[in-house]
Amino acid sequence: MQHHLTTGVAEHWLVGVEQSFRQAHLRWTPPRRAIVAWIAARSVPFTAEDLVADLARSSRATSYRMIEWLRGAGWITRLHSDPRQHAYIRIGPGHHHHLLCIGCGMTRIVQACTIDQSLERMIAGTDFAIQGHVLEFFGLCKQCQHECVVQ
């Protein structure tokens, strides 16, 4: 099964993360650099355990802290498609939603979001302060749809 992730060019992502890291006045150490380079090279969703297993020279604690920092800074996001295990994908800062193929695992980022306006209308007058939302669409990509028809 081939998985693809369309989230932008890995090199630009890597440079952006490094700049963001330095602007936060954090040390750009070799283990941190290795973690970020590993994530930049990934074209599929990954788990923290994938990262730990592949980067034996980086400690488990450093790996988990980097994942949390990258999530907080908006450079990766957690997918909610598997409630038993958190998977992550690299993104750029900003608001995103995801299209997930349940056949091959391909993930696409959806940039445009009109959900916010709908949510604002829906919660108006409820005295509830929304802090964010997660939206993932599950389905079959064009290739998997074709394979289902052929089978």
- 101 annotated among ligand-binding-site residues: yes
87-90 sheet: strands from edge to edge: 46-47, 87-90, 76-79
pLDDT 10s digits, 46-99 = 899 999 999 988 899 999 999 999 998 989 888 876 667 788 888 876 666 778
- 95 annotated among ligand-binding-site residues: yes
Predicted confidence at residue 52, as pLDDT, reads 94
Q: Which residues pair with 101 in a beta bridge?
A: 139
Predicted confidence at residue 93, as pLDDT, reads 67
Can you list the positions of beta strands (E) in the chain?
5-6, 46-47, 76-79, 87-90, 97-101, 107-110, 136-139
CATH of domain 5-150: 1.10.10.10
Whether residue 30 is predicted with pLDDT greater than 80 in this model: the reply is: yes
- 141 annotated among ligand-binding-site residues: yes
Mean pLDDT of the chain: 81
- 148 annotated among ligand-binding-site residues: no
pLDDT 10s digits, 88-139 = 888 876 666 778 787 877 777 776 667 777 777 888 888 887 766 667 788 8
The closest alpha carbon to 31, from 2, 52, 16, belongs to: 52
Which residue ranges make up each domain of the chain? Answer: 5-150
- 144 annotated among ligand-binding-site residues: yes
